């Protein structure tokens, strides 16, 4: 039987998928699958999902190597939710925590209840790691967090910082100051990531766009937008 045919993809293009440790029954994460991701999972016995932030199919662990070997797949009574029993290699969460449910809501506050157990800088690119930390800060009210304060002040403050950092980078280049160029370029990239986080646009989508343009003339690409 083709399990993909049991799901009405015209009704729901993305199906919620729970990943659960096959031995401990610990809930590791919630993700989504489209029909292609489900087919790849069935063919390979490795979990594939559809990333709503990256807007593409992603193999769990494609960057970190923290893959999920699928042991069993269950479809719920309404045929609109999946449960995967998996062997988790490494950790499940991109933050380096064992599972994605480490933020406890208590008395209108959110607190972290588990620690990072791996160095995410090593397994995810530093840009992705910084972006995910920015997203965490976005939902916090930490008065000591610069990123949190930017989000609280709002869009205009975030955009002003980008303009400010872009101007400082231009002056550093004009002054031919290599150290300042590196520092200001870093500041500009960081504040651009904050703006992307504000709009919930993953930097992976920027990488995809750069890849699309690779080998295409800049003039040709620009004209294609008109």
Same domain, 169 and 193: yes
Count Cβ atoms within 10 A of the Cβ of residue 116 and give its class: 0-12 exposed, 13-18 middle, 19 or more buried: middle
Give me the pLDDT at residue 106, please: 82
CATH number at residue 137: 1.10.287.1080
Same domain, 103 and 60: yes
- Among 101, 124, 147, the domain boundary falls at 124
For residue 199, is pLDDT > 90? yes
Query: Which has more pLDDT, 1 or 7?
Result: 7
Torsion of CA 160, 161, 166, 169, to 10 degrees: 140
- Among 64, 95, 124, the domain boundary falls at 124
Give me the pLDDT at residue 65, please: 86
183/55 Cα distance (integer angstroms): 31
Same domain, 33 and 137: no
Question: What is the band of 111 on the pLDDT scale with cuts at 50, 70, 90?
Answer: confident
Cβ(209)–Cβ(216) under 8 Å? no
Question: What is the band of 119 on the pLDDT scale with cuts at 50, 70, 90?
Answer: low
Question: What is the band of 117 on the pLDDT scale with cuts at 50, 70, 90?
Answer: low
Same domain, 39 and 18: yes
- Is residue 221 in some structural domain? no
Give me the pLDDT at residue 41, please: 97
Query: Which has more pLDDT, 136 or 172?
Result: 172
Same domain, 118 and 87: yes
Same domain, 73 and 180: no
For residue 53, is pLDDT > 90? no
pTM of the predicted model over 0.75: no
Same domain, 38 and 53: yes
Same domain, 120 and 11: yes
Question: Distance between terminal CA atoms of the chain?
Answer: 48
- Is residue 226 in some structural domain? no
For residue 216, is pLDDT > 80? no
Domain span holding position 35: 7-124
Give me the pLDDT at residue 123, please: 47
Structure confidence by residue, pLDDT tens digits, 68-93? 999 999 999 888 999 999 999 988 88
Same domain, 107 and 151: no
- Is residue 223 in some structural domain? no
Same domain, 200 and 140: yes
Q: For the chain, what is the mean pLDDT?
A: 88
Task: Indicate the SS3 state at residue 92.
Answer: coil
Give 91's DSSP letter.
-
- Among 124, 143, 159, the domain boundary falls at 124
The closest alpha carbon to 123, from 174, 151, 170, 89, belongs to 89
């Amino acid at each position: 039987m083709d399990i993909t045919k049991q799901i009405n993809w015209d009704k729901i293009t993305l199906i919620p998928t729970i990943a659960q440790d096959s031995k401990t029954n610990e809930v590791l994460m919630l993700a989504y699958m489209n029909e292609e991701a489900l087919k790849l999972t069935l063919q390979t016995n490795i979990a594939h999902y559809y990333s709503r932030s990256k807007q593409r199919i992603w193999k769990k662990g494609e960057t970190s190597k923290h893959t999920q070997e699928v042991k069993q797949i269950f479809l719920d009574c309404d045929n609109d939710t999946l449960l995967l029993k998996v062997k988790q290699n490494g950790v499940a969460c991109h933050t380096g925590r064992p599972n994605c449910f480490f933020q406890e809501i208590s008395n209108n506050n959110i607190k972290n209840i588990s620690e990072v157990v791996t160095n995410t800088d090593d397994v995810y690119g530093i840009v992705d790691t910084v972006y995910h930390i920015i997203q965490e800060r976005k939902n916090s009210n930490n008065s000591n967090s610069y990123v949190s304060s930017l989000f609280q002040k709002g869009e205009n403050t975030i955009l002003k910082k980008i303009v400010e950092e872009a101007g400082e980078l231009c002056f550093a280049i004009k002054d031919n100051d290599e150290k300042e160029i590196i520092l200001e370029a870093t500041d500009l990239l960081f504040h651009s990531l904050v703006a992307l986080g504000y709009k919930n646009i993953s930097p992976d989508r920027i990488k995809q766009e750069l890849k699309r343009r690779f080998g295409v003339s800049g003039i040709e690409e620009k004209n294609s937008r008109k």
